[in-house]
Every structure is written in structure tokens, then in C-alpha cells.
Chain A
Amino acid sequence: MQKIRVVLAGNPNVGKTSLLNHLCGTTLTIGNFPGVTVEKKEGRAFFQDYEVHFVDLPGIYTLEFYTSLDEKVAVEYLNQGEYDVILNVIESPKLERDLYLTIQLVQLNKPMVVALNMSDEAEALGIKIDETRLSELLKVPVIKTEGRHGKGVKELLSAILTAHHKKLIPKLSMLPVQSVANPEPSTFDFTRLAQGLAKEVSQKSLIPKRNLSDFIDRLLLHPVLGIFFFFLIYYLVFKMVFDLSLPFVEFLDGFFSNFLSKGLAHLLTNWGMPEFLVEFLGSALIGGVGTVLTFVPTIFFMFLFITFLETSGYLPRVAFLMDRFTHRLGLHGHSVIPLLLSFGCNVPAILALRVIPDLKDRLVVMAMIPFMSCSARLVVFSFFAIIFFKNPLFVILGLYLLGIFFAVLTGFVLQRTLSKKELSHFVMDLPPYRFPSLNMLFRILWLHLKSFLLRAGTIIFAISVVVWLLLNLPWGEKNLENTYAARIGKTVSHLFSPLGLNDWRIGTSLIPALLAREAIISTLGVILEEEKAEKATPFDWKQTAKEELYSFIEALKKGLTSLITPYPSLFDTDDEAKDTQTTKDKIRGLFTTPQALSFLVFILIYMSCMATLATIWKEAGASYALFFFFYSLILAYLLSTLTYQTSRLILS
């Protein structure tokens, strides 16, 4: 089987990814280009005894120069020439603009296939493109495609093979030959040629131009209404993400701890396994997997909606709309998107920063992002807020605002100190609104989810196991205060006494939180679980399985009904009836209200997520990452102390 390497090149938002999705199907992967955090989508297709390897490049407008990291990667990749065929994707409605890039791609002297993508959109606009004429002019295959439905994809594959076999290198007779003897930069006017080509191959009939995008933009980009719609949309997304996922999170939690873990222990004990192994497999391993999986529903829905907003074309509009606020901080509207993403998870938010062309802007926003409460922190916040406060909504909202305040403050200070020149230029193409194909949406979603399970999931699982071991070693030690975990916790808790967190159990729970914030709850769970007396409940497979089935149906019902209610049910306090003796009740006994508040502020401010730290490390270097790690730690320490001392005074 022969291998062909194909590179997808084209302007941004021309639908390269959806074509790739149809070309490669399940083999599609998302990774990074070596050494940089620029997203690289790859996949393979098998066709007529060939393995065709596709690489999707970030969108570029020209090969002459680059203004962002994305463009740099793409231009360098194309210039290095380590591929066999260029698949040049053209957005048919913007034929002339895309031909400008095409002419430059022609000069790379590589076999090429042109995909006239979104040909349905062009037809709707009254643009008729003569692909055979274009094929004659460029001397390479030109195929009309529709990325959304995958129309023309089969033809693309065979055209790629033909181009590869016959070495169909595009030639434009009008282009001056760039000879080695004449190295001076060509003053040839690409625009004229592009205009001429576009005129030659396309016809525009008179259709009154009044499309849906225009109308939606009138509302969504209105200086006043636009802001309103932005908050409405953001609220809806926020509500849906958490309301839809919450019942499933609760179900998974119960399923693992009540059913699988206990069931396995029951089974293994019957087989006569040693007690340590039974405990380890049942509690540590199954519990760890359970912890990881409880994040899946939230992350699934978050990526579902964020990907939808991104592919539908709304996110770039947010950048336009929000620029008037962010520019006060000396930042582009671009930075709103990563900052908003950071409410979901800080790691993809930091990766999304690469849309900002300026390095200093990137660094500033990068330092701001860890202060934005991610959904993992929300898990901890809502868990604690519901236990300790009458109005959990206000506490959570207050914490969010506090985080945002420190993000802005940090950004402001950095903007002044990084010897900031004036704001760099801001240019962005707004694609028309498009309804993304569900197939592509779910594939991208799955790729994100997979990478979470593999990267974050393994860390969380490892921590769970380590924590369990720390808590249970040396083996046979019945008194928890003598375990390794407690020894570490005790040492740490001395440092935390100004914060009111001098209980060794709290100190211990903060250690794994360095690796993942969500682990705080599971650690506390494990610690408190160990404290209670052995409760010998008879385990009945049938009965428990039935209960779990019911609770799954209940979760489905809850998820769906929550969509009808206008406010986020995430903050409902009265659905705690499921277990009477849960971790929540035990935590209630562990903290006083000022302690809980101080604990939450501490978790909010300090950069406790190793994945975030690692990402910053990769993006901006070790010293930058470590500086902000310690900066956040000191800030968190001071703020928590302040919170604890003042709230104690007020409440007493």
C-alpha cells in the first residue's frame, strides 16, 4: 500500500475541517504541530490501495508574510514542501479572494487539487462557477464540494490520486516565471490576476442580496441589542451545560460508589481475595475511574455548546462586540473568547489564545485566565455553597466576580509593566452564520472528550489512587491520624492556620487539588469515608442494579425538565434527599462557615490545576508559569486570611 501525504490549505473559515471530517471519518485526530501549540488536525483515508494521509493547516490569507503563530506554522509547512499534493480549499462565494491565495499556492510547484467548497452557498447567492474552465486555466482537477453534506468528497479522493500520479502541477501562463537568476521580489500584481481569473470562470446573476446572515447580524451586532443577546446566549449556554449535565453527574457518582465499587468488593470477598486487594480494587481503582467519569457529562455539554457557537460563526462576532470593553485593558476583542472559554476549562482557553497575533497580548491574557472560575472549581463551589450557605447562588456569583476582578487587575498591572506599546491592529474575517453539521460537531466533541479522558482523566485517576494509598498506608493502620496523608496534611495545616484551615483533613485535601481541583471533593470523601465505622450492609446485585436503572431514568427526566425552567437548577438546594449519610453531611461537620468561605477563596485564586500550569509552561516558558503559580499562591494566601478573619468577626 502506497502512502500519499496531502495538505489542506486555504483561507480561514472555508470549511477545511468539515471536508476533512468527511474524507477521514473516524481516523481524524486533533494534536499539535511539533513544538508549538497550534492545533493540527490529521486523518487518513484508504482509497484504491492507497493510504492518503491528510493534514489540515490553519487558515491563511497569503504566503507572503504571517501575522500570527497559526499563520506562521501554515506558511512554513507549505514552504517546506514535505507533502505530495496540495488540496486547495476555496470558499466559492469568495472566489476572487481565495484565488489570490491560489495563485501563490501555484508558485509552490506542487501537484494540486482545487475544491470549490460551499458551492451550495454560492448558488444561493447567484454565483455560477465554471469548474471545467478553472480546471483548464490552472491545469489541475477542480471539484465542486459541499462540506456540510460531504458532497463531492469521493470525487476529491480520486482527483487527488490522479493529480499525484500524473504530477498535475498547476501552471498559470500569465504568471511570470520566478527564476533563480532573478531573485528580486516580484512586483507582479496578484490581485489583477485573481480578479481576471474570477471574472473568467464565474457569472453573477442579479439576485437581490438580502440573506439571513445580514438580518441576524443586524440584531446580534447591534451596539446595544448585541450586548443583550450576548448575555442571553451566554446565560443559556451556561444554564444548559450545567443543568443538562448535573443529573448525569449525580447518577454516575452514585452508580460507581454505590453499585460498581460495592458490587466488586462483594464479589472479590466471596472469591477469597486478601482484604487489601479487595479494598484497593474496589475503592481506589473503581472510585478513581468514577471520579474521572463524573466530569464527562459537564465537559461533553460544554464542548458541545462552545463548538456549536464557534462553528456557527458567533464567537468571532463576540470578539467584535466586546472589543470596546477589552480595549480599555489594552486587549483585543479576540481575548474575550479565550476568557469565556476559561469558564469552562482553563486549558482549552489557554490553547485558544493562539488566535491573538501579538505575543504580549497573549501573555497578558494567559496570566488572567487562571483566575477565571472553571467548571471544575464550580463543582467545588456549588458543592460547598449548597452545604454551607442559605443563598448558594450569591456565594458562587460572588466568587466568580472576585475571580474576574483579580483577572482584570492582573491584566491591568501586566499591561502597564510589560512595557506595552500601543494596541496592535485588529483584523478579523466574520464568516456568515452557518448551521454546523451534527456529524462534524459530534466528531470534534468526541476528540475533545477523548483528549480529556486521556490527559486530564489519567492524572485525576492517578491522584485518586495515590491519595487512597496515602490514606491507607502503612497498611493495617486503623488510626487515620497515623497515615502518610495525615502526616503531610498536619505539616501543611500549620501554615494554613491564619486562613482558619488548620484541620489536617483540609490540608490533606488541598494536596491532590494541586493536580486537579475536583479532587478536593473526592479526597475529602475518601478521608471521611475512612473515618466512619465499618458498615456491613448486605449487597444485593439485583436490587442495586434496579435502583441504579431508576436513578438513570430519573436523571434523564431531570435533565430534560431543567431545560424548561428559566433559572439554573444547578443552584437548587433542595435536591439533597438521595443519600442521608453522604459526604456532604460529613463535610458540614468539618468546616465552620468562615472556614468554608476562606477555603473557597483559596481554591478560587491559587492556580491549583497542574494541567493549566503545564499548558502555560509549554506556551510561555517555565519562568513565566512558575512566577504566576507563586503569584497566585501568595495572593490566595493573603486573600483567604483576609476572608477568614473578617467573616469570623462579622459572623460572631
Chain B
Amino acid sequence: MKEEILKNFRDFIRKKGLKYTSEREEILQEILSIEGHFDVDELHQRLREKKKKISKPSIYRSIPLFKEAGYIQEVYRQDGHAHYEVTINKSPHLHFLCLRCGKVEEIVDPEIERLIQQKEIESGFKLVTHHLESFGLCKNCQLADTTTLAHLEKGEVVEILDLPSDVMCKKLLAMGFRKGELLKVVQVCGRTILVEIGNSRIVINKELAEKIPVRAVRTEKQVEDVPCELINKEENMEEICVLEEKEACMMQDEKASLQNNKTCPQGFLVKLFSKL
């Protein structure tokens, strides 16, 4: 099996008109023995442990070749460098990528494999490798997002997730609090916070605010930091649209131009959202 791969690789190199080196073969051999995800540092470390003197730059130079040949693929980027996985001989699986923390979950389900095989047969397509990625927020990051009104800082904008049905919360409802509406924290002062909702400014104490679950949408400052042409997720787009019509209109234009220019580097995206 391994031999076959190595033979294929030699053919691939030759076809490209490149020189075949034992160094490249050693790297590939090492990669094939790895299960799970890896980055260049890890790979370098493993080779060193096996007393193989291969420099990091050589590894960096080889990686694009392996990628091109379809042996490995980049799974995600974190802290400025990419993480890869071996694609060959691995059953098709789904990656759940967290946009915020960059965590990757592998979803392995025979159902996915079955579906792909079925489609393969139906379409008469010959599959070589798989690349299935879904982006979103992982459980931890979601929990970090949903907090209560009591824990917000000045300037934060949140969406009200729910209003409990006790009397004081009902009063808040009558005062203009609505489930699903956005509110902005204007000022926090000791035990009380001042929020703005619609055209109303309402003071509520933190004990009561503790009962109201909210989800962070953004803070005023961060939106200024993020260049909007990089945002191409429709959901997030809408959230911000509601906020400031003016700002949203500007972004709508950006979105249109984005659709023409379809290549949005995935790494950039992850980096961008990890900032949010």
C-alpha cells in the first residue's frame, strides 16, 4: 500500500519535471504514518526524533507538492500556521470548524460515506479525495456568547434571547423589551446598568438583568476594526444589517462585489472570525 503511494508520488514528481529526492520521500513516509491533524512544527519534531536531518524549509517546500498530489489537505489555520491531515485512505468525514477558536471536530458517520458513494455511482464521477468542511461556532464558543444582561460591558450590543414570565420581566416587556430585539449597553454604574432599546433608555439593576439571557452581537468598537469586505457569511451579515441601516447598506454593496470575486481565502476567514 505504502509502496504504491510512494511509486505514484515518484511519477507525480517526474511529471512535474522536478527532481526526486530521498528527503521528500522520507517526509511523505512520515506524514503517512500520522493519524489525525498535524502542522509543520510537529512534523519536524517527529522527523528529528527519528534522527532524520531534514530542515524546516525543506518541509515547507514539500508540503505544496503533497497537497497538489492530493495526499494531504489543509484543515484549518490557527495562530498563523496551517494544520493538515492525510486525505488518502481516510474514509470521507465532515469537519466542523469553529470560526472563533479554530477548533476542528471530525464527524465520522458511515452514512456520509454511503451517501458519497451513492452520488459517485449516480454521477459516474471518479473520486480521488474528499474535502468536507462546515463552519460555525463550537459549543464552548456558543456558551461564551450567550450570557445574561448583567455581565455586559459598556458599549456592547446584544440580542435578547428570552424574557422570563415573572412580574418584573413582564414590566420590562411593557417598557419596550422584546425577545429578539437588539439592545445596547449605554452605561454600567455599580449595581445598575443603563440600556438603550429602540428610542427608550432604561435603567435596570443587575439582579434582574441576571435573569435575561442575551447573545452578543458585537461591540461598537470591534465593528470599526473589522474590514467589512471580508465578511461573506450571510447570517452575520443580517445581524449587523438590523443594527445600523446606513452601515448595512454599505455592506450590501460589498457583498455584491464579493459574489463576483468568489475566491475568499479560507484561512483569512478563520482568522477574521477568531477575532470576533
Are A206 and B175 touching (Cβ within 8 A)?
Answer: no
Chain-A contact segment, one of B111-119, B121-129, B190-198: B190-198
- A323 close to B198 (CB less than 8 A): no
How far is it, in angstroms, between the C-alpha of A206 and the C-alpha of B249 when the chains are bound?
11
Q: Please state if A62 and B205 are interface contacts (CB–CB under 8 Å).
A: no
Residues in A with CB closer than 8 Å to B194 are: 221, 320, 430
Stretch at the interface among A16-24, A91-99, A449-457, A529-537: A91-99
CA distance A316 to B201 in the complex (A): 11
Q: Are A67 and B171 in contact (CB under 8 A)?
A: yes
The answer to whether B205 and A426 have CB atoms under 8 Å apart is yes
**Known contacts A96-B198, A206-B245; is A427 also within 8 Å of B174 by CB?**
no
Neighbour of A327 across the interface among B174, B190, B204, CB < 8 A: B190
Count the B residues whose beta carbon is within 8 Å of the partner chain — how many? 30
- Residues of the A chain whose Cβ atoms lie less than 8 Å from the Cβ of B200: 94, 97, 429
Interface 1/0s, chain B 171-206, versus A by CB < 8 A? 111111010000000111111101000111111110
Residue B170, interface by CB 8 Å = yes
A195 CB within 8 Å of chain B: yes
A425–B207 CB distance below 8 A: yes
- By beta carbon, the residue of chain B nearest A205 is B245
When A426-B203, A430-B201 are in contact, do A97 and B186 touch as well, CB less than 8 Å? no
Within 8 Å CB of A474, what residues of B?
A: none
Task: Decide if A602 is an interface residue (CB 8 Å cutoff).
Answer: no
Beyond A61-B171, A96-B198, A100-B174, whether A427 also contacts B189 by CB under 8 A is no
Cβ-defined contact, A61 with B174, below 8 A? yes
CB pair A425 B186 closer than 8 Å: no
Tell me how far the C-beta of B157 lies from the nearest C-beta in chain A, rounded to whole angstroms: 13
Asked if A94 and B191 make an inter-chain contact with CB atoms under 8 angstroms apart, the answer reads no
Q: Check: B5 CB closer than 8 A to any chain A CB.
A: no
Bitwise interface map of A from 306 to 348 toward B, beta carbon under 8 Å scored 1, else 0 = 0000000000100111011101000011000000000000000
- Tell me if B167 counts as interface (CB < 8 A to partner A): yes
Cβ A94 vs Cβ B198 within 8 A = yes
A221 to B203, CA, bound (A): 11
Q: Which of A97, A425, A426 contacts B175 (CB 8 A)?
A: A97
Asked if residues A67 and B167 are in contact (CB atoms below 8 Å), the reply is: yes
In the complex, whether A621 has a CB less than 8 A from a CB of chain B is no
Number of residues of chain A lying within 8 A (CB) of chain B: 41
Q: Chain A, 209-221, contact with B by CB distance < 8 Å: what is the 0/1 string?
A: 0000100010001
- Does the CB pair B175–A430 fall under 8 Å? no
Bound complex: CA A566 to CA B173 (Å): 47
Query: Are A195 and B178 CB-contacts (below 8 A) given A61-B171, A321-B189?
Result: yes
The answer to whether B207 and A62 touch across the interface, beta carbons within 8 angstroms, is: no
Query: CB distance B202 to A423 under 8 Å?
Result: no
Contact of A94 (CB < 8 Å), options: B167, B176, B186: B176
The count of A-to-B residue pairs whose CB atoms sit within 8 angstroms is 110
User: Which of A191, A208, A320 contacts B192, CB < 8 Å?
Assistant: A320
B69 in the interface (beta carbon within 8 A): no
Q: A221 and B187: CB pair below 8 A?
A: yes
Bound-state Cα–Cα, A79 to B138, Å: 52
Q: Are B199 and A426 in contact (CB under 8 A)?
A: no
Within 8 A of A (CB), among B204-224: 204-205, 207-208
- Chain B residues with Cβ below 8 Å from A324 are 189-192
Q: Cβ of A222: which chain B residues have Cβ within 8 Å of it?
A: 187
Does B167 lie within 8 Å of A65, measured CB to CB? Answer: yes
Does chain A have a CB within 8 A of B132?
no
Bound complex: CA A100 to CA B175 (Å): 9
Q: List A contacts of B256 (CB < 8 A).
A: none
CB neighbours (8 Å) of B190 from chain A are 223, 323-325, 327
Contact residues of A between 562 and 621, Cβ < 8 Å to B: none
* Chain B 82-107 per-residue mask, 1 if CB under 8 angstroms from chain A, else 0: 00000000000000000000000000
A428 at the interface (CB under 8 A from B): yes
Q: What's the nearest-Cβ distance from chain A to residue B172, in Å?
A: 7
A649 to B260, CA, bound (A): 93
* B34 at interface, CB cutoff 8 A: no
A101 interface residue per 8 A CB criterion? yes
- B168 CB–A CB distance under 8 Å: yes
CB-CB under 8 A from A195, the residues of chain B are 178
| Contact yes or no, A101 B174, CB < 8 A | yes
Q: Does A528 contact B (CB under 8 A)?
A: no
Say yes or no for A125: interface residue by CB 8 A criterion. yes
* A275 at interface by CB-CB < 8 Å: no
Q: Are B187 and A427 in contact (CB under 8 A)?
A: no
A49 is an interface residue with CB less than 8 A from chain B: no
Inter-chain CA distance A278–B175, complex, in Å, is 64
The interface residues of chain B lying within 8 Å CB-to-CB of A61 are 171, 174-175
B171 CB contacts on chain A under 8 angstroms: 61-62, 65, 67, 427
Listed residue (B173, B174, B192, B200) with the most chain A CB atoms within 10 angstroms of its CB: B174
| Given A93-B199, A125-B199, A221-B189, A427 contacting B204 (CB threshold 8 A) | yes
Are B174 and A319 touching (Cβ within 8 A)? Answer: no
Is A64 among interface residues, defined by CB-CB distance under 8 A?
yes
| Complex CA distance for A61 and B167, rounded to whole angstroms | 12
Q: Using CB atoms, name the residue of chain B closest to A13.
A: B200
Query: 8 Å CB contacts to B: which residues of A215-261?
Result: 217, 221-223, 226
- Complex Cα distance, B174 from A101, in Å, reads 7
B-chain residues with CB within 8 Å of residue A425 when the two chains form the complex: 168, 204-205, 207-208
B246 within 8 A of A: yes
Residues of B within 8 A of A206 (CB): 245-246
How far is A62 from B200 in the complex, measured between Cα atoms in Å?
16
Which residues of B are found within 8 Å of A320, using beta-carbon distances?
187, 189, 192, 194, 203
User: Is B202's CB under 8 angstroms from A323's CB?
Assistant: no
Given the known interface contacts A62-B171, A100-B174, A423-B207, the answer about A430 and B202 at a Cβ–Cβ threshold of 8 Å is: yes
Listed in ascending order, the chain A residues whose CB lies under 8 Å from chain B are: 61-62, 64-65, 67, 93-94, 96-97, 100-101, 125, 191, 195, 206, 208, 213, 217, 221-223, 226, 316, 319-321, 323-325, 327, 332-333, 422-423, 425-430, 432
Task: Offer 26 A-B interface pairs, CB within 8 angstroms, sorted by A.
Answer: A61-B175, A65-B167, A67-B168, A94-B198, A97-B174, A97-B175, A97-B198, A125-B199, A191-B173, A191-B178, A217-B186, A217-B187, A221-B186, A316-B203, A327-B190, A333-B192, A425-B168, A425-B205, A426-B192, A426-B204, A426-B208, A427-B202, A427-B205, A429-B201, A430-B201, A430-B202
Beyond A195-B178, A432-B201, 7 additional contacts (C-beta under 8 Å) are A67-B167, A97-B198, A97-B200, A221-B189, A323-B205, A327-B191, A422-B207
Task: Please provide the 4 A-B residue pairs with the shortest distance between their CB atoms, ordered closest to farther.
Answer: A324-B190, A61-B174, A62-B174, A426-B205
